[in-house]
Structure 1
Amino acid sequence: MLVERDEHLGRLHLIQEAARSGKGRMVLLEGPSATGKTELLHVFADRAEAAGFRLLHAVCSRSDQDLPFGAARQLFRAAGLSTEDLPATLTAAEAVPVGELTHTVDELCVALLERAAAEPLLLAVDDAQYADAHSLRVLLHLARRLRSAKVAVLLVENTDIASPHRLLQAELLRNPHLSRIRVAPLTEDGSAAFLAERLGPHRGHLHAAALHSFSGGNPLLLGALADDLDAGHEDARGYGLALLSCLHRGEPATLAVARAVAVLDTYATPDGLAVLAATDRETLEATRRAMAVAGLLTDEGELRHPRARAAVLEDIEARERSALHQRAARLLYEDGAEAGRVARHLLEAGRADQPWAVQVLLDAAEHERLADRPDTATACLELAHRSSGDKQERATALARLTHTAFQRDPSAAVRHLASLLAAEQAGYLGFHESTLLLRQLLWHGRTQESAELLERLRTATTDRPTGPGSELADLEQWLSWAHPSLARPVGTANAAGAAAQRGATVVTLRSDPWLGRAAALADQLARNRPGAAERAEQVLWDLRLSRGASWADETAMLALLTLLRYGSADNAADWCERLVIDAQERSATTWQAVFTGIRAEIAVRQGDLTSAVERAREALALLPVKSWGVLAGLPLGSLIVAHTRLGQYEEAARQLGQSVPDSMYESWFGLSYLEARGVLHLSTHHHHAALADFLSCGELQRSWGVDAVGPVPWRVGAAEACVRLGNTDRARQLVHEQLARPGAGNARTRGLALRLYAATSQPGRGLQQLTEALELLESTGDRYEQARVLADMSRTYYALGEHRRARTLFRQGLHVANACKAQPLAQELLSGSAEQPAMMSAAEGGQSAEGFELSDSEKRVASLAVMGYTNREIATKLYITASTVEQHLTRVYRKLRVKRRQDLPADLWMNATRAG
């Protein structure tokens, strides 16, 4: 199919007619590779034959260009002339006398011209750039006799390839009877017309601009792209083969330049390309210009199609491709390129033999890790570890490789731990890498190895500081929370406190400043330092700038747990959602799972039990239980408590049956798991087992020296078990001990303790404690425990004869329990109300405020009224007059169509926290 070739055919037709009239002509049809020259020759030859010409056709090839008279023999034989007198070979030793050879050639040319007298002849020579020297001399001999002959000679030549016989070519071009016709790639309009024929007018127009850009108007490439599109080959395999065909048909320099461009890709420079292609700048530039004209490269010298680079690289034998990438890496390194660019070629080469190569890979791996590309970072570290001959360098690479693997799956990092331990024992690991190794050993519950490693860190005879504020002190503080049985006191609580006491500033060079942040937060959790929630939130804000640091994720986990313990569950939930998304975006699956597990614990605190189950299961889907190590207590504990409070006791027991490492009980996560088990035992009436679980929590915390402010308020759970067992005196003693502890400053713990304090008091004496407990639990967002306090307050008021307030509080408690989907708690409330008919009728006749539009001020007043506050108490809380309160309530009654405050919907209670 010929497009934009009418002008060429017109000129060829004129030459044909001139030859038929006895004015022979020679035509040189030239142009870049694969631009349709041969197709043009065939069309012209068909038309010439139809006009009475006899076609004498010869095709030259690279392999035959040294064969004497190769093209000439094809032409003479096509004319029916014998070529036996032409020598088959010509060497210096067997030279044919020039006179004799000239006579033979002359006789053949005369015979050819005699044939032309009978019928016009068209001599067509394709790929004439490969014609041998003797055939070119024959054509020159013939050209001098064309003026009065019925002969047209058509030479088709590829301008991408230089002929080795330039002098003969130059002599041929000086012939006055020679015409030159240049064949160029298609224009964009020509490409559109070409594609309209191949794909149809609509699709051809739709894809014309893109395919013209990819092909540069080269008909062979354009046709291959059209075929790929029509066949649905998204990998453009046909285009790749067509491109390789063009490259292999061209000069050796063309293929070499294409390979250099493919290897260097976007980092190609003229000097680099010249070196990699083993050519000089002049040849390089000439070759690039020729390739651009042919549509193989852009004008800027880049490959045109995304598939082109892969096709060129796949065409290179593996060993040669590796060598090219090694040379490219060296070129970029010597040119001062960034580590990532150099490392890319080292990875492609699969070798890093140069003295500088391993350090480049280590630097590139760190950059890739911080850029959230863990796969590339892993590949760099694996090659660095495999290639280095320096033991310390190999150990560093292995440590970083293990840490990167740990970020995605802790189980995948286990296979490296033995080698890392051996390297550490031999002294090849630095302090920073050793701390990461220690953290992973503890994660997997390898306590003995951890203790031995820790002892070596403590006794190492180096210049590293070991006092308060040092990295070793930070590590000890972190251990006081993460694995208290291994921790040692360091004299002062933290570096900041020590500096303040001395009135001086401590400046310490740290390999990872986030270890210090983690230590400070661990100290907050283990020892109840003031300002814990504020510090945790500040750390989370700062974390955005250093999320890639080795200890950053550990610090984030500690900050979330601190917020959950000392701050608001809602605030902790917001931060947790952000961290889950962040970990997912950077493919840190381990920490995505951990943060999701913490989110499940937060949902338990918020009373969103179904969400807690979903989040805990999601965390365990991201990482199986065996990968969690000692942290397994985090998602399992949340899952057990949530199932228990939902009344799904069999499912909770099934989760309890999952295998967990014994070393888990030497960490905070073991305490959480024991507490969850105690909750299940308490709910299923195994009160002695529950008491044993809570007391075990206490024993562990005492053995760690953190009982006063331990992370689990075990005395509260133990006191509740004692109440269930009828041992009220022991329960009261445990509650008094809890309230006397410094940890009672934790709002949630104090709220839980006050509820049990009221439960162990005489009826009527615990109302003040219950009221304070409710306010504390509201401030922390623990809705489930709020429902329990409301139920206790309702029973207390009913026992005191204040049935109106008892009904109000009962409705509120039942509403919150149902909102949490805590069916056992709701059933407990309803079963208790069976003995109190007024409260049962209130439960059956309750209504909702949803759908009624109350103003914000009306909601605030109504919510406090639902809580049971008098008009004067509401006025004091909201800083308004009692008259204003009465006016608001009148409007609320009218809007909600009720007549008295005890008929107000229970769901107004949900606004009570903000109203207060």
Structure 2
Amino acid sequence: MAHHVHRLTLGTGGHVRITGAPGSGRTAVLTAAADLAAAAGLPVAWTRCYPTGPPDTTHPTTAGPHVHLVDDAHWAPPTTDRTAAGPVLLITAETPELRHTPPSTPDTELHLPPLTPGAAAELLRRHGHHHPGTAHAAAGNPGLLTTTATRHHPDDPTPDQRPTPEQLCATARTERAERLLPGLPPHLRAALQAIAVGAGHFDTPALATLCDTTPQATTRAVHHLRALDLLHPTDTRTPLAHQVLAHMDPTDRATLLHRAATHCHHTGAPAATTADLLLGAPPTGTPWAAATLTTAATHARAAGDHHRATTLLTRALREPLDPDARARLLLDLAATELAAHHHAGHRHLTQVLRGTPGEHTGTHRAHAADLLLATGATRTVRREVPTAFAAPTLSLVDRNRLLATYWLADTLDHDHLGYRATTTPPLPERPADPDLAATAALRLALRGTRPSRVRGLARAALAHPVTDTLISTQLAAVTALHLTDDLTDAARRADQLITEAHRRGTPALLPRALLTRARTALATGDLRTAEDHLTHLDTLLPPGTAHPDLHAATATTRAELHLLRGHTDPAHTALATATPTGGTLAAAELTHTRGLLAAALGHHHDAVAHFREAGRHLAAAGWHNPQVLAWRGHAAASLTALGHHDDAAALTADELAAAAHWGTPTAIGTAHLRAATAHPDPDTARAHLRHAVTLLSRGGAHPPLATALLTLAELDPDPHLIDRAATLLHHHNLTHLTPRLHALTQRTGHTPAPDRLSRSQRTVAELAATGASNATIADRLAVTKRTVELHLTQVYRKLDIRGRHQLPGALDAHGARG
């Protein structure tokens, strides 16, 4: 450089070209040349060029010898390379890959390579920077090294939030690349746009197709883009994909994405790759587009990425679709949305019920109603199903399914608000269809009439394969069986429905199935199973995502679990945010459980108010079965605590009458237990408790049985009663009764005998005592039939009996029944 400056002082000009990547130090060399010229007494003219707009000449040129420095000359118009009269030393600094026009031939060309490790370390040392990773991250680029060193502050008081030198270097590289984008030559811009669209999935021939050029030209473009640091060093991807596409004209961008998606489809690219391109492309009007998006959505949902699945399915709906395909897509979209946004899911399910009829839309409508019911939207079902039911293209099966969902929704929500349709046919008296039979079973069960009829309808409904029925109606049949004391069959079928919901790949069906199973477990005192299912349910329904009625039902069940363990604080927390729709069964259950909490806290005035409010809900709906909610018995206990014995006696009499009308051991036994608790006369209380123990021992509802045994033992401290109560408390972890048991053993001096049977043996024996076959027990416990047989053999030996017909009496006699 000094040589050329010296020649200019002698009257001879020239042209020196400095080349290098952005940040390689070209401007620093120009500045050094300006210093050499000034030292030689030569005028200096500076011209700075920009990707858009004219160059900026900061000093006027002179007629005599002078030095003309042109920075970023790759963006200079052709006339800028040389100025007018007089000897001129033209020194240009440029990145050759960015040139739009061929350059003139220089006298001397200086290329600036990356700094050596030693030079990079020296540059960082001058800036007081000593982090070992910076030199490697900057790859010897002086501009990146300087920027990173000046931005890094090792003494920052918040080191956890301070970016690392590597991160700072990456940020600086991106900023520099963004400054280059506007000035890229058209052929490089086209190549970078194709690369941004391809996201590393396209090879050179594919990129050439998108750029309308040859593979050789595309290879050169890729080489130039990599030299400009606009591509990753090891593959064909750009860190600026978002910025590149954002700067494109929207129409051009959509066209490019469409062409890329079509190319992917024709070359057999993975569905996810093609779908990503279709997301930004306009509707293609081709059948493969919706199919590809749906396939990619299925994979995303299986991976747990519900947001991506929702985005893909929403885009698929923009394609032209026939009514059946549209209904199927809306169902898939709604099932995906229900995991996070029940409002959006219910809106799309409503669209299925209202949509244009097609050959198979009746089936889709039935499944839409099923999903609405399972997620708590009973009023939407009652409002929309009558119109869907009137469609002339429905098959008999679909008509029965829609009719069943309508009457099931009507059963669960008595506050009709004008939704009851007078044109909807009534339920058949003797339904043969499984969905109709399940609905009829639950309606009768809630009314508290004809338990044998309820049991027959529920079993007939559950006799059909779960794949041929609706989940919501099957769960209704399970609940009906639960209310008839068929707890083993109810639990077994609930487990099957959980498996079926998993098989269908519809997570929105799972919460209701898990809730039903948890309630069955609570009824038998299997608190661990109940908690496991409620915990699983919580993972499926984060706060704020469930319909208010489903959230209230879940909160009620969890609170009851806490109360059985004697934990009032978490029970209060569970109930605090529940706000169900008025007039629903969920509302009555929530009010009743609030009464249980108030009673556990000793707030009996509040408890009575809650229980009576729950009773008004039940009476208004015609739900008279005391096994649904034994509000009278609980209210009587609180009234007794308040000294209102006459009111308590009246309620217990009503409870006993309603229980006798329903007729199950659990209903009658629980009514006797509440009557004993509310009756001031010890002899009368003993009589009620003996009835309660006898009946509850047959029904399988272990928490009330434990309470009855313990209460009777407190009146008559029989060691046998204490042993039985202790076994139940230990087996079912009923910690809310533990203080009473401890006080009783302290008073009597009797230490409960250890249970003869292991936990597994006792569980098998209890199921066998209810009449369950070995095969049923094996299915219920997920063990082999041979395991059940071995357990029973050990049970017979320990209890000194000869067969299963002696199990009920032996379990009661030895205090092992739990």
Query: What is the TM-score with the length of structure 2 in the denominator?
Result: 0.68
Q: In the alignment, is residue 604 of structure 1 matched against residue 563 of structure 2?
A: yes
Structure 1 counterpart of 2:512:
554
Matches within 5 A, 1:769-848: 771-785=723-737, 806=748
Q: Offset of 1:787 from its aligned partner?
A: 5.2
1:26 aligned to 15, 32, 38, which one? 15
Superposed CA RMSD in Å reads 5.7
Aligned-partner Cα distance in 2 for 1:218–1:701: 86
Structure 2 counterpart of 1:716:
670
Aligned-partner Cα distance in 1 for 2:722–2:15: 112
Structure 2 counterpart of 1:41:
30
Q: Offset of 1:301 from its aligned partner?
A: 3.8
Aligned-partner Cα distance in 2 for 1:583–1:435: 21
Aligned-partner Cα distance in 1 for 2:270–2:618: 45
Aligned-partner Cα distance in 1 for 2:394–2:45: 91
Aligned-partner Cα distance in 1 for 2:242–2:727: 67
Q: In the alignment, is residue 282 of structure 1 matched against residue 216 of structure 2?
A: yes
SS of residue matched to 2:93: strand
Structure 1 counterpart of 2:177:
243
Contact 2:599/2:607 (CA < 8 Å) preserved in 1? yes
Q: Offset of 1:24 from its aligned partner?
A: 5.7
2:95 aligned to 158, 181, 204, which one? 158
1:122 aligned to 67, 73, 79, which one? 67
Q: In the alignment, is residue 614 of structure 1 matched against residue 544 of structure 2?
A: no
Aligned-partner Cα distance in 2 for 1:661–1:275: 73
SS of residue matched to 2:67: strand
- TM-aligned CA distance change 1:395 to 1:718, over 3 Å: farther
User: Per-residue displacement from partner, 1:261-290 (whole Å, max 9, x unpaired)?
Assistant: 333335444344444445443222222222
SS of residue matched to 1:243: helix
Q: Offset of 1:716 from its aligned partner?
A: 1.6
1:748 aligned to 689, 696, 703, which one? 703
Structure 2 counterpart of 1:493:
459
Contact 1:352/1:383 (CA < 8 Å) preserved in 2? no
Aligned-partner Cα distance in 1 for 2:261–2:150: 37
SS of residue matched to 1:369: helix
- TM-aligned CA distance change 1:660 to 1:700, over 3 Å: closer
- TM-aligned CA distance change 1:359 to 1:550, over 3 Å: farther
User: Per-residue displacement from partner, 1:25-65 (whole Å, max 9, x unpaired)?
Assistant: 53222233454323422321222221233335556667799
Structure 1 counterpart of 2:369:
437
- TM-aligned CA distance change 1:679 to 1:495, over 3 Å: closer
- TM-aligned CA distance change 1:808 to 1:550, over 3 Å: same
SS of residue matched to 2:16: strand
Q: In the alignment, is residue 473 of structure 1 matched against residue 439 of structure 2?
A: no
Which AA in structure 2 matches 1:26?
H
2:521 aligned to 563, 569, 575, which one? 563
Contact 1:678/1:717 (CA < 8 Å) preserved in 2? yes
SS of residue matched to 1:201: coil
Q: Offset of 1:180 from its aligned partner?
A: 1.8
Q: Offset of 1:295 from its aligned partner?
A: 1.9
Q: Give the number of the structure whose alpha-carbon radius of gyration is greater.
A: 1
SS of residue matched to 1:713: helix
SS of residue matched to 1:53: coil
SS of residue matched to 1:368: helix
Q: In the alignment, is residue 78 of structure 1 matched against residue 39 of structure 2?
A: no
Contact 2:14/2:89 (CA < 8 Å) preserved in 1? yes
Q: Offset of 1:14 from its aligned partner?
A: 3.9
Aligned-partner Cα distance in 1 for 2:638–2:440: 33
Contact 1:403/1:436 (CA < 8 Å) preserved in 2? no
* 662-671 or 13-22: bigger deviation: 662-671
Structure 1 counterpart of 2:760:
none
Structure 2 counterpart of 1:300:
234
- TM-aligned CA distance change 1:304 to 1:723, over 3 Å: closer
Q: Offset of 1:604 from its aligned partner?
A: 1.6
Aligned-partner Cα distance in 1 for 2:737–2:22: 81
Which AA in structure 2 matches 1:156?
A
Structure 1 counterpart of 2:197:
263
Q: Offset of 1:159 from its aligned partner?
A: 0.8
Which AA in structure 2 matches 1:806?
T
Which AA in structure 1 matches 2:459?
A
Aligned-partner Cα distance in 2 for 1:266–1:252: 21
- TM-aligned CA distance change 1:624 to 1:524, over 3 Å: same
Structure 2 counterpart of 1:362:
294
Structure 1 counterpart of 2:777:
none
Which AA in structure 1 matches 2:434?
A
Aligned-partner Cα distance in 2 for 1:670–1:398: 39
Matches within 5 A, 1:143-292: 152-165=89-102, 169=104, 172=105, 178-186=107-115, 200-202=128-130, 205=132, 207-210=134-137, 212=138, 240-292=174-226
Structure 2 counterpart of 1:644:
599
- TM-aligned CA distance change 1:179 to 1:781, over 3 Å: same
Aligned-partner Cα distance in 2 for 1:182–1:421: 71
* Structure 2 unpaired stretches of 5+: 157-161, 402-430, 448-452, 753-796, 801-814
Aligned-partner Cα distance in 2 for 1:458–1:765: 70
- TM-aligned CA distance change 1:284 to 1:525, over 3 Å: farther
Contact 2:668/2:692 (CA < 8 Å) preserved in 1? no
Aligned-partner Cα distance in 2 for 1:359–1:348: 16
User: Per-residue displacement from partner, 1:882-905 (whole Å, max 9, x unpaired)?
Assistant: xxxxxxxxxxxxxxxxxxxxxxxx
Contact 1:329/1:343 (CA < 8 Å) preserved in 2? yes
- TM-aligned CA distance change 1:663 to 1:161, over 3 Å: farther
SS of residue matched to 2:98: coil
* Structure 1 unpaired stretches of 5+: 1-11, 81-114, 143-148, 499-505, 795-803, 811-875, 880-912
Aligned-partner Cα distance in 1 for 2:749–2:385: 58
Contact 2:271/2:293 (CA < 8 Å) preserved in 1? yes
Q: Offset of 1:645 from its aligned partner?
A: 0.8
SS of residue matched to 2:599: helix
Contact 1:634/1:672 (CA < 8 Å) preserved in 2? no
Which AA in structure 2 matches 1:296?
L
Contact 1:218/1:295 (CA < 8 Å) preserved in 2? no
Which AA in structure 2 matches 1:122?
V
Q: Offset of 1:648 from its aligned partner?
A: 3.6
SS of residue matched to 1:78: coil
Structure 1 counterpart of 2:326:
394
Aligned-partner Cα distance in 2 for 1:25–1:429: 82
Aligned-partner Cα distance in 2 for 1:425–1:208: 67
* 324-333 or 586-595: bigger deviation: 586-595
Which AA in structure 1 matches 2:567?
D
Structure 1 counterpart of 2:243:
311
Matches within 5 A, 1:389-428: 389-408=321-340, 410=342, 413-416=345-348, 418-423=350-355
